[in-house]
Amino acid sequence: MNDDKYIWDWYIKQETKKWGGQLPNWLQQLNKPQQAAVLQQNSHLLVTAGPGTGKTQTMASRALYLLLAGTKPMEMVILTFSRAGKLAIERRLNQLASYAGYNGAIPDVRTFHSFCLRLLRKIALRGHWLQPGFQIIEDKVYAKEDGFFLTVPALFLERYEELLGGLDDGLSQDERLEYYPVIIHRLRAGHPTLGLCLRPETLADEGDLTLEGNLGQKVVIPESKVKLVYRNYLLAMKEENAIDFTGMVAEVLLALREKPEIIRPWVRFSHLLVDEYQDTSKAQEGIIREIAKLGTFLSVVGDDDQTIYTFNGSDVTNMLEFTQRNNRLPIRLTQTINLTSNYRSNQRIVEVSQKLIKKNQQRLVKTIQAVGKNYSAKEAVFLFEAVDLYAAADLITNEIEKLTRNNYQYSDIAVLFRKNSLAYPEGDAVFSSLRKKGLPVFLEKPRRITETLKKVQELAARYPEMSITQAINQTTGVTSAEKLRSILEAYREEGLTTLSEVARSLAVLSSGAISKTDQNGVRILSIHQSKGREFPVVFILFLAEKEFPDFRAIGNDLEEERRLLYVALTRAKEKAYLYGKPSTNFNDFYQEIIRCGISPGPTQVDEK
């Protein structure tokens, strides 16, 4: 279905006849493309839903329409990615059902993991390696020497020596616990670059696998070592009669492909609805396709422009190729409807974000328009040049003081940095600046000071102008300094050059200020953490070479960097502020924002 109001009018008119000539009130509250998405029949459905376009309302309305059209609740299932998403859809569906006078049961709304867990409980009775009564391997928090906290499947901690202790890979315990669980998770989920690997036997005995560490550094691990740990981890789970969260999805997909007779009775649906489709991994999409092979209608909602979880397995091609892949299913026809009315943001924010994202080649063509707001569209997006991150932090603090003198609350404001590995120094630079002025603030990326980090600070205090490379060379051969060198090397990989820069990035940790964070204050968080949320005012940093976009990003990686900036901009309802500086690098988001029609402001933000 094309984005054409005349086609919508014709289609909706035909459907309206079934309701006695007038759509019920709960459908009249939707706009034309939303109505068209809800009323579509007899084909698969792809709904592209840009930021603030009402996808939850549309999905819940479609589920209610299918129920009223005769679909039985047990013949339909709705999948989403988080408990918050599940509760939002359930709440909206129950509200609509009550408003429409529908008193019957509503369909299952489940997260992917809950859906797969239910299926595993059933097939454990019918010949799977998991036995009835199997346990769930919970994730546990592990504190590393660099101060960061890892979330690791408990089995890796409980059986560390057996799984990781004897490896000849040159890595420390901290590094093994950070890298191996992550890379095995990505292989089982189906990472866009690593591929889908449901069993270790398919890995090679030669070659290397690459991933990114907590501080952004590239880490190379021999594939043979990953294969060994992967195999031993699966054996350990079998011995424990337990499964981890990634395995829930992987094992269901394997059963669907290799033992369909033990699982197919439980996956026969007439309709499968999937929320946030852009976040599906290869393994999750594989499950959806196996179910669709049984004649199930698929209704998926998402926004390819907001695919920012590639590191966790999200694959943008799942949306881009949705229609083509359906051509291999029993039901081949697919209708596509674009939701294009943004009810969240100022028109100027929408215009700038649209101009930015249109530079991407890997995307579905669509144009978002803002629904009228009561505040000026001309004073919505601001760009400021700052000599460095810390100057930008002070500019942000000054502007926040002005905003809170003009009817904004501190909790209305969010400061977004590119990714978790940049919480230090980027997040704490703003945190420290706000704290100096006594302003309430909440930093959403915890970290602690450790003995090793204290040694880094002591070294930097004695030799602040020493380069990180020189410091690493001077500790070579000193066994006790292995952890120290590892942390310094990670900072060097992230683009820092001197010990004073490292010390500055750690200053907030030793101050103890993080323990005094105020959850009602200005929120400082990564763009990934902000996904699905909105704020009246958003500050974004730091648009500069080696920082945003990441200097390692090329090709499709650069497109994901641009999607990150797009998501950051579209979190803002009323005002968006961007800080950075032009670089000599061709991949320069500072200049891209200028080309989107935003002129850089003065070094200091003028009083309004």
Token match 């043979």: residue?
Answer: 224
Confidence of residue 328 (pLDDT cuts 50, 70, 90): very high
Consecutive H or E run containing 592: helix 589-595
Per-residue pLDDT of 131-151, as tens digits, reads 999 999 999 988 887 777 788
Confidence of residue 11 (pLDDT cuts 50, 70, 90): low
The tokens describing 533, both together, are 């949320």
The tokens describing 586, both together, are 């061709």
The Cα 14–Cα 196 span in angstroms is 44
Instruction: Please state, as a whole number, how many other Cβ atoms lie within 10 Å of the Cβ of residue 291.
Output: 18
Per-residue pLDDT of 98-125, as tens digits, reads 998 889 899 999 999 999 999 999 999 8
Higher pLDDT, 145 or 29: 29
Per-residue pLDDT of 354-405, as tens digits, reads 999 999 999 999 989 988 764 555 679 999 999 888 899 999 999 999 999 9
The Cα 40–Cα 339 span in angstroms is 14
Per-residue pLDDT of 448-483, as tens digits, reads 677 777 888 888 888 878 888 888 877 655 545 777
Radius of gyration over alpha carbons of the chain, in Å? 26
Kindly give, in sequence order, each residue whose CB lies less than 8 Å from that of residue 573, ignoring residues fewer than 6 positions away.
Answer: 344, 345, 346, 349, 534, 535, 536, 537
Question: Distances from the Cα of 426 to the Cαs of 171, 582, 589, in angstroms?
Answer: 28, 18, 17
**Torsion-angle region of residue 381: left (phi > 0), alpha (psi -120 to 50) or beta?**
beta
Confidence of residue 555 (pLDDT cuts 50, 70, 90): low
Query: In sequence order, what DSSP letters do the residues of 125-168 get, joined into one string?
Result: TTT-SSPTT-EE--EEEEE-TTS-EEEEEHHHHHTHIIIIIT--
The tokens describing 178, both together, are 């950070």
